[in-house]
Amino acid sequence: MTERVVAQGTFDLLHPGHVHYLREARAMGDELHVIVARRTNVTHKDEPILPNRQRRDMVAALNPVDAARVGHPDDIFAPIEELEPSVIALGYDQHHDVEAIEAQLAERGLDCAVRRASGRERAYDDELLSTGAIIERILDRRD
């Protein structure tokens, strides 16, 4: 049986932290499906700079990713029900509550593990591992 893993995130302005997360997620199973958050559903931080489709296309082009899609407009668990993953992989710094996700999965009759990927240390001093840091550097240098 194929071990399907689902990872999800905003993936605005891709950086090495994203690649690390997706590599770890892919290592949790046989195939990796990524759900890219819709711009309108991102409420915990600034709205993404890039449009939904562009972020999806960029993620889909990464080697660890077997398939990528934009998330459901109303129900973030709808794609999970369709994909029936063995594992949901969360990024190390994602704001999601693992217990709340597990409760929602159980309520929907979905049997899958929820695991968190590790963080990634900087490979060199000025390496940027967050979209916010990339934006800040651009603004600092372009002002």
| Digitized pLDDT (tens) for each residue of the chain, 143 residues in all | 789 999 999 999 999 999 999 999 999 999 999 999 999 888 878 889 999 999 999 999 999 999 999 999 999 899 999 999 999 999 998 888 899 999 999 999 999 999 999 999 999 999 999 898 999 999 999 98
- Strand locations in the chain, DSSP E? 4-9, 31-36, 67-70, 87-90, 113-116
Binding residues for ATP: 10-11, 15-18, 93
Range of the domain at 137: 4-142
In the numeric block, the tokens 């770890």 are attached to 24
Binding residues: 10-11, 15-18, 93
Provide φ and ψ at 98, rounded to 5°. -60, -45
Q: Which two tokens stand for residue 115?
A: 């695991």
What is the count of structural domains for the chain?
1
Q: What is the CATH number of the domain that holds 92?
A: 3.40.50.620
For residues 78 and 121, what is the distance between their CA atoms, to the nearest angstrom?
33
Closest CA to 51 of 87, 5, 12: 12
